[in-house]
Amino acid sequence: MFRFILRRVLQTIPVLFIIASLTFFMLRFAPGGPFTQEKNLPPEIEKQLRAAYRMDLPLWRQYLLQLGDWCRGDLGVSTKHLNRRVSEVIAKHAPVSAQLAVWALLIGLVVGVPAGVSAAWRPNSALDYLPMSCAMAGICVPTFVLGPLLALVFALGLKWFDPSGWNDPKDMVLPAITLGAHVAAYIARLTRGGMLEVMSQDFIRTARAKGADARRILVKHALRGGLLPVISYLGPAVAGLITGSFVVETVFNIPGLGRYFVGAAFDRDYTMVTGTVLFYAVLVIGLNTLVDIVLVWLNPRLRLE
């Protein structure tokens, strides 16, 4: 296990290097710049700003200096939000996005796993058709459609929740449902597929032949193997919840990191875009590594692979 973790850490270094380099050069070659505005700045002020952010240097030298800053953990100062370091923005607003992602994941697990288990336990019945139909609808309806619909019905219509903000616990309900519905749909279908595959194995038939209780067969024998596809999906799912919350944060006016990332892309905020991309890259790689470790713990046969 230690060799596996060490190998994954060593593989992360070139991946982060490639991601950071591509982000750096794509931003520089894109039209416009951080100081391109509708009203042009005075030439002397723009010259001072470019010198402060080392944009007056040759591109290769900017890149080498930027690499040195990244190796030291320095993500720089935002060109849009002056006097604010990118690391400070991430530390302040990333927990909001993480909190939204955790609640959405809980909704996905609480709704998706029981729906998938019930569908697999009674295939080709009402317990199968109804949750799988809802799961298909959850996969097909995007968040930018579901979010405004929920806000229109439950916030503006019924007045049960606030249409925007992140100040009260009930403000988390609609955004978490919007973000978690898609995950719940995938988890339900993955759980059903995994459970059906395990339920057809010989050891399940042997347990039934020995007179084992149905609940014991489900919980002790089938559930552990049936949830392996779900666990494999959790790593990309959590990363997708955190990085895919941009639309939800915009619809419900949530002060998460996603809004800053989208705003930085429009404003050509080089340091903010690069810093958030590296943060998301490290997060995604770490989550996928954690999921792989859990899979090996649940299924020891994967150790040799």
Domain extent at residue 253: 93-303
What integer is the mean pLDDT of 134-143? 82
Comparing 135-139, 168-172, 219-223, the range with the smallest average pLDDT is 219-223
Q: Which of 11, 10, 186 is nearest to 105 (CA)?
A: 186
Q: Is residue 8 part of a domain?
A: no
191 to each of 39, 136, 198, 199, 262, how far by Cα in Å? Answer: 56, 14, 11, 12, 34
**Could you tell me where the DSSP H helices lie in the chain?**
2-29, 43-52, 59-71, 86-121, 126-140, 143-150, 173-199, 202-209, 214-216, 223-226, 228-243, 246-251, 257-267, 270-298
Q: Tell me, what CATH number does 224's domain have?
A: 1.10.3720.10
CA dihedral sign, ordered 146, 168, 250, 235? negative
Establish if 22 belongs to a structural domain: no
Q: How many domains does the chain divide into?
A: 1
Half-sphere exposure (CA, 13 Å, Cβ side) for 7? Answer: 6
Assigned domain for 265 exists: yes
Neighbours of 200 (CB within 10 A): 9
- Residue 230 — very low, low, confident or very high, per pLDDT cuts 50/70/90? confident
More confident residue, 281 or 201: 281
Q: How far is C-alpha 87 from the chain's CA centre?
A: 19
- Looking at the chain, the whole-number percentage of residues with pLDDT higher than 70 is 89
Note whether residue 69 is domain-resident: no
Angle at 89 between CA 84 and CA 90, to 5 degrees: 145
Q: Could you tell me which residue, 242 or 185, shows the higher pLDDT?
A: 185
Asked if residue 110 belongs to a domain, the reply is yes
Encoded amino acid at 46, one letter: E
Q: Average pLDDT in the 65-73 region?
A: 85
CB 189 within 8 A of CB 233: no
In a domain, 86, yes or no: no
* Residue partners of 110: CB distance under 8 A and separation at least 6: none
Task: Give the closest residue to 20 by CA, choosing from 254, 205, 278, 216.
Answer: 278
Cβ(88)–Cβ(164) below 8 Å:
no
What is the distance between the terminal CA atoms of the chain, rounded to a whole angstrom?
12
CA distance 128 to 265: 44
Spatial distance between the Cα atoms of 200 and 272, rounded to a whole number of angstroms: 51
Q: Which amino acid is at 138?
A: G
Question: What is the C-alpha separation between 30 and 27, in angstroms, rounded?
Answer: 5
Does position 298 have pLDDT exceeding 70, yes or no?
no
- Does residue 305 carry a pLDDT above 60? no
In the structure encoding, which two tokens stand for residue 231, read together?
Answer: 């666990």
Q: Specify if 25 maps to a domain.
A: no
In a domain, residue 263? The reply is: yes
Partners of residue 84 on adjacent β-strands: none
Q: Is the predicted pLDDT of residue 2 greater than 80, yes or no?
A: no
According to the model, what pLDDT value does residue 304 have? 46
